[in-house]
Amino acid sequence: MPIYAECGGLMYLVDSIQDLEASSHQMIGVLKAKAVMTGKLESLNYSVADVIRKNILTDAGFTLRGHEFHYSKVEDVPSDSKFAYEMRIGEGISGRRDGWLEHNLLASYLHIHFGYAPQIARNFVDACERYGKK
């Protein structure tokens, strides 16, 4: 099933979230990493991402625009993880990479500005319709 998750949705999909008191809380574990609340602003910016891998929103070669705003970071990201975006402006999840791809899932810190390119929302609906016809 297609899944698109931004920021808090990304955090929900990892193995666990560590709060400000260093207590760990189990999440659903689709993405093998942990989110850590830092108590400080980790990223606040308008963002630009170059799409490097086809995903449920767009083909490679597209440029996405949006913003990042978060007080957390994702740690212990497996070295073989696949990402859909390289951040031209912004931090992303790991090493200026964002748009974590796993099965038919796309998760990112980037909050996409869908008004910039309305077709990307249509592409997600199309992916869901294709899944529904299986």
The CA R_g of the chain, rounded to the nearest whole Å, is: 15
- Cβ distance 67 to 93 under 8 Å? no
Question: Residue 28, Cβ neighbours under 10 Å: how many?
Answer: 10
Q: Is the four-CA dihedral 95, 45, 57, 124 of positive or negative sign? A: positive
Q: How far is CA 94 from CA 2, 83, 115, in A?
A: 22, 9, 26
DSSP 56: S
Q: Which residue has the tokens 């992916």?
A: 127
Residue 7 appears among annotated catalytic residues: yes
**Catalytic position from the list 7, 35, 57, 106:** 7
Catalytic residue annotation: 7
